[in-house]
Chain A
Amino acid sequence: MREKCWPLISSITRGRRNRDTNVTVSGSENGCRSSERPPLQLAQPLLQSQRHEVPMLEEISSRRWFNNILRSLIASGVPLIGLGGCDCPPDDRLYLIRETDESIAPLVQACRRPVNPDCRPLCEFVSNAYAIVHCELHSDKDGYLRVHVGSEPSCTGGRRPSRLRFADGKAGPPVAQWLARMSQLEAASVPAFRRLARQLRHHEAPLELVEAARAAARDEIRHARALRAIVRSHGIEPGVPRCPAEPRLPSLAQLARANEVEGCVRESFGALVAAHQGAVAGDTRVRAAMSSIAPDELRHATLARAIRSWALPQLSPRQRAGVAQAGARELRRLAHARSLPEYVRTQLGFPCRENTRLILQHLAEDLA
């Protein structure tokens, strides 16, 4: 049985607010547990965020893109679960297995075959990760089978500036480390939006877009502060990322390409993730913070689409193709870069896997 959060989304896209909606789930799949189904609050921030303050943004792109994606997801019965992002602490796991059953034994054999050994099925089986970058079966020790799985993790945040360098991760509980990286991403978004505003002004973009970018930078200051406070409450310092200044302003084509990747793809994706986190994160402070962040992120994603609509007509066909390719590459990257330790995922409210691919697919169709 699929988790059924789609009736909820459906009612929301129609603009209804039914606080009694409680979607029941009799089972789960795709690594999702029934207890993590999103409550109605999932989309309330999105509804609020649809009240744009910038008329031009409404004219250019409004919320149609978002509703289109939701409609597609509803049509395919896909629940709004299964998202990730990027640039989070590496995920290195070691599985110590003492009792092997009939489901794991053939996988171990396949991995230990002298000719053409294949360990990947074993690593996928034990870890439930599919963005595996390291997979190795070590020698047994004290009766334990040792499976080493490294996977490329992901988390979402705001728009990243070019030349971003994250501060080193501090020692601490895994949840705090992930939060620290999320907080750094939000902090990095502040200069990213300020630079965007400068770049837009340089290329004589409509003033509404410039102002919206500045407002977004102010939003990101709030986001970074909120997340930093949560990280500190976990007992570690979040660290400050470094964003060296760009040597020169980008061309319009470069601006459009960066906007496609950071805005149209990542922020659209991030808005959905933030909404989910705001609804279901196990950590109540994260839930509260993301509830207020989600509407902002959606507005930023809408700004990205408005910039796209302004910039693309000014580019050559070849440049436009380059923009589209950059967006498609980022979508593919997001589809592959996703794997979280289970406890971290539930605490931070990241949706479960598998539907990421479908949601990104709908996002890709929307951007095409």
Chain B
Amino acid sequence: MLQLRLPRVVFLAWLFTGSAACDEPCPPIQQTVYVNAPDEDLQRLIADCKRDGASAGCKQDEIDCVCRPLCLRLLQLIDGFEGNEELQTCYLSPYRAETLQQPNENNLRFSADAIAVSLRYVPSRCDVQAR
């Protein structure tokens, strides 16, 4: 009896943990991306995003937000994932206006056109870190 039950218990445990692991989304990653001296492509995307104001950002469910192309490009640059990551939120911080007008010794040695973007996304794979 015990011999019959044991494999069944193991199978059920495997089914439970295995299927849960497959279905469960990865925990979202919240990162702030700072870009020093963005290239022309990024500069254009930043300009588009800033058109609606320095604090513009993409909230959840605002798929067509003006900042989305910038956010997706940044995600492409920062992530080391192979699949498609789900962008949840993306905000452009007025980093330049707030911090770079008066750079100092300890501040980031970034150029005047540096930007900071706050991203939150769900990675397509949970077992790797952005690289």
Q: Mark A342-357, 1 if CB is under 8 A from B, else 0.
A: 1100100000011000
A96 and B60 form a contact (CB under 8 A): no
CB of A99 within 8 A of chain B?
Answer: yes
B33 and A94 form a contact (CB under 8 A): yes
Q: How far is the CB of A225 from chain B (nearest CB, A)?
A: 25
Interface residues of A in 91-146 (CB under 8 A from B): 91-99, 101, 103-104, 125-128, 136, 138-139, 141-144, 146
CB of B66 within 8 A of chain A?
Answer: no
Chain B residue nearest to A103 (CB atoms) is: B109
Partner of A174, one of B32, B37, B74, B107: B32
B104 and A92 form a contact (CB under 8 A): no
CB of B111 within 8 A of chain A?
Answer: yes
In the complex, A171 Cα to B87 Cα: how many Å? 11
Partner of B34, one of A94, A174, A354: A94
In the complex, A29 Cα to B106 Cα: how many Å? 7
A138 and B131 form a contact (CB under 8 A): yes
Q: How far is the CB of A222 from chain B (nearest CB, A)?
A: 29
Chain B residue nearest to A172 (CB atoms) is: B89
Q: How far is the CB of A237 from chain B (nearest CB, A)?
A: 13
Chain B residue nearest to A354 (CB atoms) is: B106
CB of B124 within 8 A of chain A?
Answer: no
B104 and A28 form a contact (CB under 8 A): yes
Q: How far is the CB of B45 from chain A (nearest CB, A)?
A: 13
Please indicate the chain A residues that have their CB under 8 angstroms from the CB of B39 in the complex: 98, 142-143
In the complex, A16 Cα to B48 Cα: how many Å? 51
In the complex, A84 Cα to B26 Cα: how many Å? 31
Q: Which of A91, A95, A99 has the most CB of B within 10 A?
A: A95
B98 and A343 form a contact (CB under 8 A): yes
Interface residues of A in 6-40 (CB under 8 A from B): 27-35
Q: How far is the CB of B56 from chain A (nearest CB, A)?
A: 11
In the complex, A360 Cα to B80 Cα: how many Å? 40
B36 and A98 form a contact (CB under 8 A): yes
B109 and A104 form a contact (CB under 8 A): yes
Interface size class of A (residues with CB under 8 A): 35 or more
A173 and B57 form a contact (CB under 8 A): yes
In the complex, A341 Cα to B116 Cα: how many Å? 10
A171 and B116 form a contact (CB under 8 A): no
Please indicate the chain B residues that have their CB under 8 angstroms from the CB of A320 in the complex: none
If the complex has contacts A138-B80, A173-B118, are A96 and B34 also in contact, measured as CB distance less than 8 A? yes
B78 and A96 form a contact (CB under 8 A): yes
Please indicate the chain B residues that have their CB under 8 angstroms from the CB of A92 in the complex: 29-32
Chain B residue nearest to A346 (CB atoms) is: B98
CB of B108 within 8 A of chain A?
Answer: yes
B98 and A174 form a contact (CB under 8 A): no
If the complex has contacts A96-B34, A96-B35, A96-B36, are A343 and B95 also in contact, measured as CB distance less than 8 A? yes
In the complex, A127 Cα to B38 Cα: how many Å? 17
B30 and A342 form a contact (CB under 8 A): no
In the complex, A138 Cα to B81 Cα: how many Å? 13
In the complex, A101 Cα to B108 Cα: how many Å? 13
Q: How far is the CB of A248 from chain B (nearest CB, A)?
A: 35
In the complex, A330 Cα to B98 Cα: how many Å? 32
B33 and A96 form a contact (CB under 8 A): yes
In the complex, A169 Cα to B37 Cα: how many Å? 32
Please indicate the chain A residues that have their CB under 8 angstroms from the CB of B88 in the complex: 171
A90 and B30 form a contact (CB under 8 A): yes
Q: How far is the CB of B102 from chain A (nearest CB, A)?
A: 5
Q: How far is the CB of B74 from chain A (nearest CB, A)?
A: 8
CB of A235 within 8 A of chain B?
Answer: yes
Please indicate the chain B residues that have their CB under 8 angstroms from the CB of A35 in the complex: 102
CB of B94 within 8 A of chain A?
Answer: yes
Please indicate the chain B residues that have their CB under 8 angstroms from the CB of A127 in the complex: 108
CB of B105 within 8 A of chain A?
Answer: yes
In the complex, A15 Cα to B99 Cα: how many Å? 34
A342 and B77 form a contact (CB under 8 A): no
A101 and B116 form a contact (CB under 8 A): no
CB of A278 within 8 A of chain B?
Answer: no
B30 and A33 form a contact (CB under 8 A): no
B60 and A99 form a contact (CB under 8 A): no
In the complex, A94 Cα to B31 Cα: how many Å? 7
B38 and A343 form a contact (CB under 8 A): no
Interface residues of A in 48-92 (CB under 8 A from B): 89-92
The 3 closest A-B pairs by CB, nearest first: A31-B106, A99-B37, A98-B37
20 pairs across A/B with beta carbons < 8 Å?
Answer: A28-B102, A28-B104, A31-B104, A93-B32, A93-B34, A94-B32, A94-B130, A96-B33, A96-B77, A97-B37, A142-B39, A169-B30, A173-B89, A341-B93, A341-B118, A343-B94, A343-B95, A343-B116, A346-B98, A353-B106
